[in-house]
Amino acid sequence: MKGICTILILMASWHFMALNAQPRSQEIIVPDVILEDIDGNTYDVYEILSSGKSIVFDFFATWCGPCWEYHQEGSLQNIWETYGPQGSDQIMIFYIESDPGTPNSDLSMASYTSYGNYLANSPYPVIESHQLGNLFEISHYPTVLFACPNKRMAEVGQLSLEDADYLINGGCPGTILEDNLELLYFTNDLSPACKEQEILPTIKVQNLGANLIKELDFSFFLNEEEESGPFSYDVWLQPFETMEIAFGPFDISQTTSFQVDINNVNGEDDLHPDQNSIQMTKEWPKTYNNQIILEIDTDEYGDETSWELWDEQDNMLASGDGYASNTITAENITLINSGCYQLKMIDSYGDGMCCNYGEGSYVLKTNDGQVLLSGSRFLEEETGSFEFDPNLVATSEIRPTTDLFVFPNPSGGLVTIEGLPGEKESQFVIYDSQGTRIFTTSGSGPTFNLDLSELVDGYYTIQAFSKGLSQTTPLIILK
């Protein structure tokens, strides 16, 4: 059994408000998932939302004191009786025990890992699933999420009947304008690669307008060069519905950027242009340096973390485990043969290195500072690849440097980057303090201005790539 729960109660002065206020640091799209309760009944989340109902997801652990107090208080039961299927039928509630170390028996009886019978006075569906906790990125208990029919959700704290009344009867937004498509995100696996591969860039989109969308037309850019289309699609997308749209396929053999822009919706200009472009970068880390370092910063359960390094002939070359908690360990590795290598990071408990129980992370870099791979948030395991080729130093400009200069630093969010190769296109990747890639963009010229004002205060790393040149520098955001 892991840890003790922490409480995060967000004051919800919503006008749904709060979805625009980004209560979990960003607006959250409800996962498209089918739930199964402990009695074997199934529920299609998107089908429920499409019917016009809202959903409350209450994630808890049986050993969490505040979770038990909220259950005993009876607020969810009151909300269910008033607005659930036997009331006004405006809402569904899912009560989800998501700690992976909790046995099912703890739901119905007190034990050293359970405060009592959570099934008593729970008329709504009860679910036992730690996978859902990972899918919804639950970092503390209790976590109560409120989802609107537009498939957006936000964290709301422990709901009272009065809170629920406000959210259900006016807190959720309606459609915005008439023809309004939003590009949500790329669905592709963005783990770094090092073998030539075919990729089918795929985006998820949502109709936020009042009109049925029947026609869509896009522009598609590969490394900022527009591809010849047409990229036109006949669709049938009702208000608030989502769908996936694919472009390509394309063969890639280097770090590659993809961009999709909306040209028109139903033959007309989209009426909400600030949502009409989306980008992603598939990284292809390369190095000529055979001396690499795996830096592991463990969470509160370091002994759950292990790693393996494999070559392209499926030989495991190095591995490590048995790490102390809340410590930083550097593993030195020497590469012998050129080729593609794969790093596999493993968490035996299945909750990654961040952020349920501490803020662990890993960074794989060369001994002269070039970052190859990094990460923190994953489930059972995460893999990434990179290429080692000693001949790169003779044929390209791959070399780590310390010439990258960012100012002001600390910054309120608007920064200028100097020290770039002026004649070449540069790709920029921003990592947070846990090594998570949170932002990518591109530009050219020896000086580049970057707007990071949406980032929260903290420590970040900027990595710049330009035709093999890799440069990194730290950045502090302080507003």
- Which element (helix H / strand E) includes 395? helix 392-395
Q: For 19-35, how does the pLDDT look when each residue is reduced to its tens digit (9 = 90+)?
A: 322 333 345 789 999 99
Hunting for tokens 């290429």 — which residue is that? 387
pLDDT(1) > 80: no
Report yes or no: 231 and 219 within 8 Å, Cβ to Cβ. Answer: yes
Report yes or no: 431 and 372 within 8 Å, Cβ to Cβ. Answer: no
Reported as a pLDDT band with limits 50, 70 and 90, residue 124 is very high
Domains of the chain with CATH codes: 18-171 (3.40.30.10), 181-282 (2.60.40.10), 285-395 (2.60.40), 399-479 (2.60.40.1930)
Q: What's the CA gap between 44 and 146, in Å, rounded?
A: 16
Q: What integer best gives the mean pLDDT of the chain?
A: 83
Of 194-203, 206-215, 319-328, 469-478, which range is least confident?
A: 469-478
Query: Which runs of consecutive H residues, i.e. helices, occur in 119-271?
Result: 130-135, 161-166
Of 27-36, 102-111, 112-121, 359-368, which range is least confident?
A: 102-111
Q: For 267-305, how does the pLDDT look when each residue is reduced to its tens digit (9 = 90+)?
A: 998 877 778 899 888 888 888 889 999 999 999 899 999
Torsion angles phi and psi, residue 24, rounded to 5: -110, 40
Average pLDDT over residues 226-247: 92
End-to-end CA distance of the chain: 39
The CA-based dihedral angle spanning residues 185, 188, 191, 193, taken in that order and rounded to the nearest 10 degrees: -130
- Does pTM top 0.85 for this prediction? no
- Which element (helix H / strand E) includes 75? helix 75-83
Average pLDDT over residues 423-448: 73
